Amino acid sequence: MTGLIEAPDANTAQTAVVPPLEGGRSLEWAPREPAPKKRRVGLWVGVTMGVLVLGAAAASTILIAPGTTIAGVPVGGLTPGAAADVVTAHLANTEITLTGAGDDQVVTGADLGASIDAGALADEAFASHPMWNVGSWMPEPIPGVITLDTDLAHDTLREMIPASYVDAVDAAVAFDTASATYVTTPAVPGTGVDLDGLTSAMTSALADGRDSLTYTGDPAEAPAPVSDDEAAGVAEQLNTMLSSIGFYVGEERTVPIAPAVAATWLEIVDQDGELSIIADEAAIQTTVDALPAAVDRAPVNAESITNAGGDVLRELTAGVTGRTLGDTGTLASDFAEKLEAGNAVQPLEVTEVPFTTTTLAREIDINLSTQTVSAIENGVVVDSWSVSSGAGEFPTHTGSFQIGWKTSSQNMGNRDLTQPPNYFQPDVPWVMYFNGDEAIHGVYWHSNWGTPMSHGCVGMPVSAAQWLYNWSPEGVNVYVHY
């Protein structure tokens, strides 16, 4: 049998020829019917619908719900990025017709530097109202805060409506030499277009779905950026600084700075409507260079009088620690930084030099045998005088005593001479009691020195008694002996 080669799409309905049978009759096969094709229409329709459903489901996960608006701008069905672009463009293209003094001139949001945080708002819209969440469709409007670039807006409007603009004058602070304080000058308001009102009008227009609005170009009062209250606050801060400004060693303001000098260090600068303090480092350095002469000092050694037991009876000289100024390499810049921050106290680094203490152990020696009184300091006789001690039945008692009560003058005895001690001596000078009623004192009524003559006291020349009185604090030891 002859084989047939068929093309893939060939119609094979042909007659197959076979050799003749005996008797001369040929045989023929019936034509072959083509195989019927399977019908897949329903399957393809189902697949297409499935793809569309899956695509819509996927899209709903990246789109904002229908009916969502940001600052009045519809953003439903958009991605957050596309929504941000739409809101930004809508705001930039919003037209404002300036009425009144504006003479119906038109300016756009872009001309005024109008902006809104569209990216953040779009992200918020998608997070709260995604398309896949049918329950979040048609939500409440999402408000947005519109801001204008103040400088750009005023520059644009000033050029368009110059008659509406008068510059304000800031309040100022300056040093007054007469009072040696900082004083203020008041602010003077100006005029200009009310940007706060304009921003509010733009916000309302967008919220209403409009892309244009009208607003007055007439002048409104524009307060000075630096107000009287702000200037008064800076002046108060500066005057407080003047009361404490200086270089300090510990709590001591070792080198005060006069207000007039401080004023040469400080400048009050108006920077974009804000007052700030600028300190001149070079001017401060001039004072820093002179600091060693004002700060350095030698120690003052202490000196005190003691008794035999070492008790301090009188401080003759108080000890004062010396000091040497430390490194001042960055002192001017450090102080400038503090002053600009409102701190007028600059600590100084110093090295302390300790003082020494000298003690003067003093005592009075009364020798009854030689009728002398000697002033002894640290074991050395400083001076000695002839005296008159107690005589007869009123001898000066021996022993170790201390100076007690002292008085520069007093009456001694009794005015009634018939009563003991049967004598009266007025205005006895430089009296120092050491044993009961026995005292060392000055004598002006005789000069018989070296001879016992008193009622137990030790009399001395007045000048000697005065010297010894000043030399001997209370508590000095007194030794009376033969």
pLDDT tens for the chain, 482 residues: list them: 333 223 333 333 333 333 443 344 333 333 444 444 444 444 433 433 333 334 445 678 899 999 999 999 999 999 999 999 999 999 999 999 999 999 999 999 999 999 999 999 999 999 999 999 999 999 999 999 999 999 999 999 999 999 999 999 999 999 999 999 999 999 999 999 999 999 999 999 999 999 999 999 999 999 999 999 999 999 999 999 999 999 999 999 999 999 999 999 999 999 988 999 999 999 999 999 999 999 999 999 999 999 999 999 999 999 999 999 999 999 999 999 999 999 999 999 999 999 999 999 999 999 999 999 999 999 999 999 999 999 999 999 999 999 999 999 999 988 887 788 778 999 999 999 999 999 999 999 999 999 999 999 999 999 999 999 999 999 999 999 99
245-353: CATH architecture: Roll (3.10)
Question: What are the residue ranges spanned by the domains of the chain?
Answer: 53-168+186-223, 245-353, 359-481
pLDDT at 2: 33
Domains 245-353 and 359-481 share a fold: no
What pTM value is reported for the model?
0.59
| Pair 265, 279: CB distance under 8 Å | yes
Residues 6+ apart with CB under 8 A from 119: 80, 84
Please give the C-alpha separations between residue 101 and each of 167, 212, 217, in angstroms, as whole numbers: 17, 19, 5
The CATH code that applies to domain 359-481 is: 2.40.440.10
Six token digits for residue 437: 């009623």
Residues 6+ apart with CB under 8 A from 354: 299, 321, 322
pLDDT at 465: 98
CB atoms within 10 A of CB 232: 15
- Judge residue 211's burial from the number of C-beta atoms within 10 Å of its C-beta, 0-12 exposed, 13-18 middle, 19 or more buried: middle
Q: Report how far residue 155's alpha carbon sits from residue 153's, in angstroms, rounded to the nearest whole number.
A: 5
Six token digits for residue 407: 């008085």
Backbone angles phi, psi at 85, to 5 degrees: -65, -40
pLDDT at 430: 98
| Pair 305, 362: CB distance under 8 Å | yes
Six token digits for residue 177: 């030499």
Question: For 226, left (φ over 0), alpha (ψ -120 to 50), or beta?
Answer: beta
Six token digits for residue 464: 């000697």
